[in-house]
Amino acid sequence: MARLASSARHGSRVMAFWLAVMLVTLLDQATKAAVRQLLQVEGATREFIPHVMELRLSYNTGAAFSIGRGAGLIFIALAIIVLALMAVFVWRTPDAPLSLAISMGCVAGGGLGNMIDRIISGAVTDFFCTTFIDFAIFNVADIFVTCGLAVTFILLARFDASPSKREHA
């Protein structure tokens, strides 16, 4: 009976991971499509949060802060590898917390959202631009990757340090 309950929890974690991947990817792609429709021309802007942020349509062929311009195939391969590794981790670690599966799903969904852009248009659509400081232009996928990685590292550290993990070592 306990094994059945454990199997159900494992299935829930796997499903939560893939649900997070799909929701983040859909949210990312929907916001990018809306901004492309709204602004239409690269460099066009629209006030979003007065004195804090504007929407500015930008196409990035690199990664964060435009590092690695023109290395789209490498970023596509990296996104596929990260997605696969996270999916395997969630599948093969049935005692991982649900929150860890969800945070990994957010990272993977963000990576998948940007990967879709690279495959379809050869560049990632960015549009959030801070106006109170000079900072990189970013998108919804970038937010989920960045925040998701921070949460994932914290949860992994807590999970690896948990008493039940130390007992099995």
Element of type H or E holding 60 = strand 53-60
Please report, rounded to a whole number, the percentage of residues in the chain having pLDDT higher than 90. 69
Q: How many residues does the structure list for the chain?
A: 169
Residue 5 has pLDDT above 60, yes or no: no
Residue 28 has pLDDT above 50, yes or no: yes
Cβ atoms of 139 and 126 closer than 8 Å: yes
Residue 17: closest CA among 155, 132, 135:
155
pLDDT in tens, 133-159: 988 899 999 999 999 999 999 999 988
Give dist(CA 16, CA 160) in Å, integer: 21
3-state secondary structure 78-134: HHHHHHHHHHHHHHHCCCCCHHHHHHHHHHHHHHHHHHHHHHHHCCEEEEEEECCCC
Mean pLDDT of the chain: 87
Question: Of the residues 28, 117, 134, 142, which is catalytic?
Answer: 142
Instruction: Report the predicted TM-score, pTM, of the whole model to 2 decimal places.
Output: 0.84
Is 95 among the residues known to form the active site? no
Is 160 among the residues known to form the active site? no
Question: Of the residues 28, 95, 126, 134, which is catalytic?
Answer: 126
Query: Given pLDDT bands bounded at 50, 70 and 90, which one contains residue 76?
Result: confident
Q: Where along the chain do its domains lie?
A: 16-159
